[in-house]
Amino acid sequence: MAPYPNLIGFWAVCISWSALFLTAVSIYLYMDSRKNRKQDTHATGGLGFVRDFVFVWILLGLLGLYIVSIDTGSSILFASGNIVVEALLIAYTVKNRPPKEPKTEERDS
């Protein structure tokens, strides 16, 4: 039994709320940008939505992992879950990097 049993419900609501708030903000920004870009033909169908929101699906997956691992008090589950997600995120960012980027300019300091 986890310590502070009376707080786990509040805590789950808070962490879920922050993840869901982020999801809602993402959807709002996405719809807002679609509205502003009349010529946008990219990602009009459901598949585009699924693909563009990869990080949101990962986020919601993480939320599930965090609630379950903390509710069960399992550090192992928490650690292994994090490692898997980190691998997924690295693959995602590497896949989405632009083909070539110019140099970073040094400032006179």
- The nearest distance, CB 38 to other proteins, in angstroms, is 14
First to last CA, the chain: 56
Pick the closer one to other proteins by CB: 4 or 38. 4
Pick the closer one to other proteins by CB: 33 or 44. 33
Give the tokens for residue 101.
Answer: 């980027």
- The nearest distance, CB 55 to other proteins, in angstroms, is 4
| Consecutive H or E run containing 80 | helix 75-95
Interface residues with other proteins (CB under 8 A) are 2-4, 7-8, 10-11, 14-15, 17-19, 21-22, 25-26, 29-30, 32-33, 52-56, 58-59, 62-63, 66, 70-71, 73, 75, 78-79, 82-83, 85-86, 89-90, 92-94, 96-98, 101-109
- The nearest distance, CB 62 to other proteins, in angstroms, is 7
How many angstroms separate the CA atoms of 27 and 22, rounded?
9
- Contact call for residues 13 and 53 (beta carbons, < 8 A): no
> Which of 46, 17, 14 has its CA nearest to residue 30?
46
